[in-house]
Structure 1
């Protein structure tokens, strides 16, 4: 975890806050992404009005970032595959794909391995 995230979770008791500069976190002296004034300790405090909305907005923002990163990863993988094809090498780097799957498995356990498989598969199948 990010050290700042650890601190925010320890202070607020919520595993949903994240680093400054990202959507959905209210900071003292600054407006949040909806233009509301920042309030220290606002994110993740049960019973504080707007907390659920802020957390839901934060999750939406993280999901949008994940979508963008998966699209970027898929495009990079396609470019790497094309380089392999044009260089007379196999289009699929099985050793690299296996490292990806093991890395995600190491980071997130069995579900991480599934995520790694999905990411590798998405890079080989054209999507709309």
Structure 2
């Protein structure tokens, strides 16, 4: 009967000791794996930060050339607008000169008609 009781107790104690040893060594292994994962995560964070810095650097490096292109585009548009306005001014000056010439022509015609009316004895009161 003693054997009947001692074998399960020994088996139970053996299982308990095996479980305890597995827990202790497994805990160390698990801790080492977690530290390895943390190191990998830090490395990935550094890589991601490096990629982000590169993206910002590329954007900033490109900013100067984009600014120059936009400034040139704006300058070209301004020059075209100045040219167009100058052409409009010249056109208006030509129209004014034509209107002055037409006015002088009409004045001369009006004077001539008044003279003819006076010669024919017609008086106009204006």
> Does the pair score TM above 0.5?
no
* Bigger radius of gyration: 2
Q: Give the structure-1-normalised TM-score.
A: 0.32
More helix by proportion, 1 or 2?
Answer: 2
What is the TM-score of this pair, normalised by structure 2?
0.33
